[in-house]
Homo-oligomer: A and B are copies of this chain.
Amino acid sequence: MRLLLVFSILSAGFCWAQAGDDSKPASSNVMGAQYPRISSDLRATFRLRAPDARTVQVQVGADQTHYDLVKGADGTWTGITPPLVPGFHYYFFFVDGAQVSDPASHAFYGYSRDSSGIEAPEKGVDYYEPKDVPHGDVRAHWYYSKLTEAWRRCFVYTPPGYDTNIRLRYPVLYLQHGSGEDETGWSNQGRVSFILDNLIAAKKAKPMIVVMDRGYATRAGEPAPAPPAAPGAQPAGRGAQPGRGAGFGGTSAFEDVVINELIPMVDSTFRTLPDREHRAMAGLSMGGMQTFQIALNHLDKFAYIGGFSGAGGGMGRGAAFDVKTAYNGVLNDAAAFNKKVKLVWVGAGGAELNGIGASVVSFRDALQKAGIKVVYYESPGTAHEWLTWRRDLNEFAPRLF
């Protein structure tokens, strides 16, 4: 990586002059951590103390580049990246070849591990920041699944006023994470509560309950997918992206868990409007595939369907997509489908269209060719990453219920 080595030596050389001027600790850092820092042009300066290491590199977000850090006299290594795309990016350090997390970063579950993450601020954008508006709660809720014979945890956003308007019942959005992520993703990386709080306060979205379940489920006794040989083995590490494959988690029983266990539990535990007209499902990447599978197979349960950077029709898994046969043929009668289904949302990042986004676009095309009404959203300049999905949610939620 000669070029980058040169680059990072240079940049490390003037990172104080450049980044030092207006750079600030990333908001995703743990309390007190001064690195990583973000400058106003969104270049990130990373630093790690590794006195005896021979090489330290950092990989940030969808960019597969390993940036070399340069060792200082005090045993800390420093490196600076080109300007980042705004929003949230996973990152990893490689210390003498070991892929590890940054002790200065809060952990965000992605790539099938508690990864480091860096938030690059988006100028003039605050729809996913806490504001002086009423705030809903996000509850960790445990329930027992007979299908999997295991306790499961989901997170449930209850909107402002839920505890006081005790006569009111609410519509429900089921919102899923991507592969290698888990039920914490939408709260931590996705900022779901702030996005909904702000939309509801602005009267842009109806007060709703949002249920974020764990997208992995295998029937009791059914073997889970083979685990990695060792923690350092990289199931979704360098080169992989959330949304490719199912990480380590089996998903074969997830549809049945949602239909037969999760929805009945939610409708009996929370003050929901328990009919299809007041139930939506959406998900990102793998969660989008799961959403199309579950919602299209159960139109009696859902009237609103959203895929964020996730294709249906099996295309995400490389299979052919025949609208005549897919999903038990529900797409055959477009008129009837368009009458019954209030919204089909297909979203993708503008910078992922040569990657995972391609299957999303061809899924959209196939639906439209079949006469299915589709709302397509393309997030400007973002790849297969959380800013794409925050924007999806911010545009999708106002169209619900």
Contacts and interface: CB of A to CB of B under 8 A. Distances in A.
Interface string A64-106: 0000000000111000000000000000010111111111111
Nearest to A225: B32
Given A97-B75, A103-B231, A163-B270, A139 B142 contact: no
Most chain B CB within 10 A, of A35, A141, A232, is at A232
A258 interface: no
23 contacts: A30-B114, A32-B225, A33-B113, A33-B228, A34-B227, A48-B232, A49-B230, A49-B232, A49-B233, A50-B95, A50-B96, A53-B95, A53-B97, A53-B98, A76-B232, A98-B100, A100-B101, A101-B114, A102-B231, A103-B114, A105-B114, A130-B151, A135-B142
A265 B43 CA distance: 40
A222 to B, nearest CB: 15
A45 to B, nearest CB: 11
B100 A93 contact: yes
Mostly helix, strand, loop or mixed at chain A's interface?
Answer: loop
A362 interface: no
A224 interface: yes
A1 interface: no
B231 A35 contact: yes
Interface in A332-351: none
Interface of A: 30-35, 47-56, 74-76, 93, 95-107, 109, 112-114, 130, 132, 135, 137-144, 151, 156, 163, 166, 182, 187, 193, 216, 224-225, 227-233, 235, 247-249, 269-270
Given A224-B32, A231-B47, A52 B97 contact: yes
Most chain B CB within 10 A, of A103, A138, A141, A151, is at A103
Given A50-B96, A53-B98, A142-B193, 15 more contacts: A30-B109, A31-B112, A31-B182, A31-B216, A31-B248, A31-B249, A34-B227, A49-B230, A49-B232, A50-B98, A52-B96, A98-B100, A99-B103, A104-B232, A163-B270
Contact of A32 (B34, B102, B105, B228): B228
Contact of A113 (B30, B51, B98): B30
A193 B139 CA distance: 12
A337 to B, nearest CB: 36
Given A34-B230, A76-B230, A140 B142 contact: no
Contacts of A113: 30, 33, 103-104
A47 B227 CA distance: 14
Contacts of A141: 135, 137
Contact of A50 (B48, B101, B232): B232
A305 to B, nearest CB: 27
* 9 A-B pairs with the lowest CB-CB distances in the bound complex, closest first: A49-B232, A32-B248, A104-B231, A107-B107, A50-B98, A52-B97, A100-B100, A32-B227, A107-B114
